[in-house]
Structure 1
Amino acid sequence: MTQFRRPPIGVDGQGLHACRKRVLSGKHTLADDIGDKRNERSNSIRVRAFQESDAGRVRKIYTQAMLYGSDTLGPANSPMSVAQSSQLRKPLALILYSTFIVGLVFLFYPPTRIPGLILAFGALIPFIAWKVVISIKFKNFVQEALEVDLLDPQKYYGTNPGGFWVAEVVEGEMKGLIVGCVGLNSKVDRDLRTAELKRMTVDPSYQKKGVGRQLMIVLIEHAKENGLSTINLSTSNFQTVAMHMYEGFGFSKGKQVWVTVNFMSFTVDKAYLQHYSLDL
């Protein structure tokens, strides 16, 4: 039997044991077992089924989370920012640092100022260009999602055994604001026993507040109630926080699919997709 390695935030004492037991048995309901305690500790958030009026907000959250993140959580907290900052630690970057420094030194001596200027700018251009390339790749990825499943999540994911859910603020000044979403695509398996978790997204301003865990609990509960046996997902190495959450819910690591990234005829980076699965 699959067990949680890390408990859902906001459930404690005897309630934690009961919550685990009912999620895994398929007899757990969000209203009964998470309810007020979880909402109070997660800025009064509830998880509900997607409605057509949520579409615009869902697309905005996904774009913001994937590309830009939030300044309140510090720099480089979006996958695109993490990917861009990773270039600063690559072997090619060390060569460019050295070239740039040599160029600056040459600028101090009149006979070598022009070569120094060329070296300095020549070292900066690849950094800027590579950052632009990463930005384009991520924006294309996001745009594809917006034009495919997030164009009409209700139609794409359907209901029972699939589904699409949103996390909504239910109290305070931000009442009614959608701050997260997740989808379960059951169309990947003909016998409808296996489904794929997709688009797990939390508004950057609401990350690290238990919103993702609430979405996960509802999705797992729904999957069990509808007879699914396995949930699969994949995520990139630029999303380590998400990886830790999935592993905390009992997802097991599967294969890694490596991707070589070429730039200016050089192999400058390697990224991978990490596959996970959860047996219910």
Structure 2
Amino acid sequence: MLAAYHLQTQAEKGEAVADADRLPDRYRAEILDPRAAFADAVVLVASSRDTVVGCLVVTAPVAGRSEVKRLWTAPAFRGQGIASSLVCAALAHAADGGVSTLRLSVWQWRAGAIAMYERLGFSVTESWDERDQLVCMERAV
């Protein structure tokens, strides 16, 4: 799931690579050892029968905030509410952990994802990330 996420994102940024071995080091590290990359985070997965069809990472809270990262649904399973369910599960996890705010960043060209986040109560906020074309959003838990 992480490899597919990163390969698609690189392609959307106009920096397509042929395979996961050619991804930037920080992304390759996530793929090669997700336990280490997300050691302090919670990784949520969605499955259909015995197949993982979606994933989402919730970072450990810092100053009452957690962040959603790496939300991905396998293309063949999109449009079935999997991403929304994963975000709702992240919100529930955050609430159980005493988190006050859940935040995320999303590329501005992912209009469908932005619309979904807005439907789930997230709103655009001041950016904490200086990368061009990145939209930062947050929501009270």
Question: Is the pair's TM-score, using the shorter chain for normalization, greater than 0.5?
Answer: yes
2:81 is aligned with 1:210:
yes
Identical columns (%): 22
Which residue pairs with 1:237 in the alignment?
Answer: 108
Distance 1:250-1:185 versus aligned 2 partners, 3 A rule: same
Deviations 1:80-124, CA, capped at 9 Å, x for gaps: 1xx6xxxxxxxxxxxxxxxxxxxxxxxxxxxxxxxxxxxxxxxxx
Question: Any unmatched runs of 5+ in structure 1?
Answer: 1-57, 68-78, 84-133, 170-174, 260-271
- Offset of residue 213 of structure 1: 0.9
Aligned residue number for residue 52 of structure 2: 178
Q: Is the 8 A contact 2:57 2:68 kept in 1?
A: yes
Rg bigger for which structure?
A: 1
Q: Distance in 2 between matches of 1:136 and 1:185?
A: 27
Relative distance call for 1:65 and 1:135 in structure 2 (3 A) is closer
Matches within 5 A, 1:56-75: 58-63=1-6, 65-66=8-9
Q: CA deviation at 1:64?
A: 5.7
The count of corresponding residues between Structure 1 and Structure 2 is 136
Query: Conserved in 2, the CA contact under 8 Å of 1:181 and 1:202?
Result: yes
Pick the structure with more strand per residue: 2
Q: Distance in 1 between matches of 2:91 and 2:31?
A: 21
Structure 1 residue identity aligned to 2:5: Y
Runs of at least 4 residues of structure 1 off by over 3 A?
Answer: 63-67, 148-151
Q: Is the 8 A contact 2:7 2:16 kept in 1?
A: no
Quote the Cα distance in structure 2 between the aligned partners of 1:255 and 1:165. Answer: 27
Judge conservation of contact 2:3–2:31 (CA < 8 Å) in 1: no
Q: What letter corresponds to residue 54 of structure 2 in structure 1?
A: G
User: In 2, distance between residues paired with 1:180 and 1:61?
Assistant: 11
- 8 A contact 1:230–1:277 mirrored in 2: yes
